[in-house]
């Protein structure tokens, strides 16, 4: 019989009887299978480490190991492989236990070749169905995992959108209440932390050619600028960066130096916001959120400036009306 170009499957024959093993090898090869043969359990284990097989025919009695022990090992280490037990008439009591442990079926020695061929064919069909079901199950599990991840990501985006809307509402209310510079700076950093979970940020207020540190957000929360003392020296690089952004009016983003953006209102740079942790490519959406929060923060800082100038008398109400 001519062997098909595509094998019907790969079978490992495990039998310590040389004649029996060769007989099964010849029959199954002639039927269209790729056949490997082992004369003992250790040889079978080594062979299975190197070769992928679909089915194992396993002698229920072998020197040094009981077939049931070998079957248990196969179920534990190669659960995707089907097993057909080979047994004599005197070992049929062990067959029931083998079936309970997961063997597909059994063949009785001495073999009847036609019955063996049909039994192997039936076992291979079952193996094919089991493999298809396993692949389908894995595909479903993968889809569920992907959809679950997508839902988590969508929920996280929705949560952030809600936090962003709440934060922007806070900024609008603060603007209407006429905040001080301290209140405005504190709220801007508070909203930034609530929406983006930022743990390190600076707010630098710009007045003409001068720049003043107006707020600091550290890992432990907001820090009073007056309490920084000598620690201000640690912010030298970010402060230099914010001054540059104030001059150029262009945002800056660098993995080593952080993200800085100007807060502009009525074509005037009121402050610069510097943040660490939003520089990676996958944080582009977070940087867009940062930009929107910056746009909402600028009017709050402008309201704080107006309040200060009104309180000091440098700005009169009629002049304020002209600015609206």
3-class SS string, 261-288: EEEEECCEEEEEEEECCCCCHHHHHHHH
Domain annotation covers residue 142: no
Assess if residue 145 is contained within a domain.
no
| Same domain, yes or no: 112 and 52 | yes
Task: Check whether residue 131 and residue 204 sit in a common domain.
Answer: no
In DSSP terms, which residues pair with 201 in a beta bridge?
217, 275
The parent domain of residue 64 ranges over: 10-137
- 27: CB partners within 8 A, 6+ apart: 113, 116, 117
**Interatomic CA distance for residues 141 and 133, integer angstroms:** 12
Answering whether pTM is above 0.85, one says: no
Look at residue 168 and tell me if it is in a domain.
no
Residues 29 and 111 in one domain: yes
Do 231 and 133 have their domain in common?
no
What average pLDDT does the segment 111-121 reach? 87
Q: Are strands 201-207 and 210-218 parallel, antiparallel or unpaired?
A: antiparallel
Co-location of 186 and 294 in the same domain: yes
pLDDT 10s digits, 160-189: 889 999 999 999 999 888 898 889 988 999
Structural domain contains residue 309: yes
pLDDT at 14: 93
Answer whether residue 161 is part of any domain.
no
Give the Cα separation of 269 and 302 in Å (integer).
10
Q: 232 pLDDT band (50/70/90 cuts)?
A: very low
Q: Is residue 234 part of a domain?
A: yes
- Residue 169 in any domain: the answer is no
SS3 of 79-92: CCCEEEEEECHHHH
Closest by alpha carbon to 223, among 236, 210, 213? 213
Q: What CATH code is carried by the domain that includes residue 26?
A: 3.40.50.2300
Q: Is a pLDDT exceeding 50 seen at residue 151?
A: yes
State the pLDDT confidence band at 319, using cuts at 50, 70 and 90: low
> Domain boundary residue among 115, 137, 159?
137
CATH code of the domain covering residue 206? 3.30.450.40
> Mapping DSSP to helix (H, G, I), strand (E, B) and coil, where does residue 222 land?
strand
Average pLDDT over every residue of 199-209: 82
34 pLDDT higher than 90: yes
Residue 288, SS3? helix
Residue 265: inside a domain, yes or no?
yes
In this structure, what token pair is assigned to residue 105? 């079926």
Q: Tell me the average pLDDT of the chain.
A: 83
As beta bridge partners, residue 269 has 264
Total domains, the chain: 2
Task: Give the pairing type, strands 268-275 and 258-265.
Answer: antiparallel
Share of residues in the chain with pLDDT > 90 (%): 28
Confidence label for 127 from pLDDT (cuts 50, 70 and 90): confident
User: What angle separates helix 181-196 from helix 284-312, to the nearest 10 degrees?
Assistant: 170
């Amino acid at each position: 019989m001519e062997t098909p170009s595509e094998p019907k499957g790969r079978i490992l024959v495990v039998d310590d009887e040389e004649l029996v093993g060769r007989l099964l090898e010849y029959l199954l090869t002639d039927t269209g299978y790729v056949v490997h043969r082992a004369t003992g359990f250790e040889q079978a284990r080594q062979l299975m480490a190197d070769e992928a097989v679909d089915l194992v025919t396993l002698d229920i009695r072998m020197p040094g190991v009981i077939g049931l022990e070998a079957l248990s090992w196969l179920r534990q280490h190669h659960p995707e492989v089907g097993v057909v037990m080979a047994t004599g008439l005197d070992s049929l009591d062990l067959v029931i236990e083998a079936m309970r442990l997961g063997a597909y079926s059994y063949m009785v020695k001495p073999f009847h070749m036609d019955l063996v061929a049909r039994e192997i064919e039936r076992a291979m069909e079952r193996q094919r169905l089991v493999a298809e079901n396993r692949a389908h199950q894995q595909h479903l599990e993968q889809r569920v995992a992907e959809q679950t991840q997508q839902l988590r990501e969508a929920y996280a985006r929705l949560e952030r959108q809600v936090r962003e809307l709440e934060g922007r509402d806070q900024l609008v209310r603060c603007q209407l209440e006429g905040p001080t510079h301290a209140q405005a700076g504190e709220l801007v950093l508070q909203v930034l932390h609530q929406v983006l979970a930022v743990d390190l940020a600076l707010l630098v207020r710009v007045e003409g050619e001068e720049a003043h540190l107006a707020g600091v957000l550290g890992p432990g929360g907001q820090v009073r600028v007056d309490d920084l003392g000598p620690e201000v020296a640690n912010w030298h690089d970010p402060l230099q960066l914010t001054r540059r952004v104030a001059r150029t009016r262009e945002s800056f983003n660098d993995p080593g130096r952080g993200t800085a953006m100007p807060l502009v209102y009525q074509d005037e740079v009121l402050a610069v916001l510097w943040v660490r942790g939003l520089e990676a490519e996958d944080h582009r959406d977070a940087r867009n959120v940062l930009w929107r929060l910056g746009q909402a923060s600028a009017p709050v800082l402008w309201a704080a400036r107006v309040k200060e100038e009104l309180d000091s008398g440098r700005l009169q109400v009629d002049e304020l009306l002209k600015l609206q």
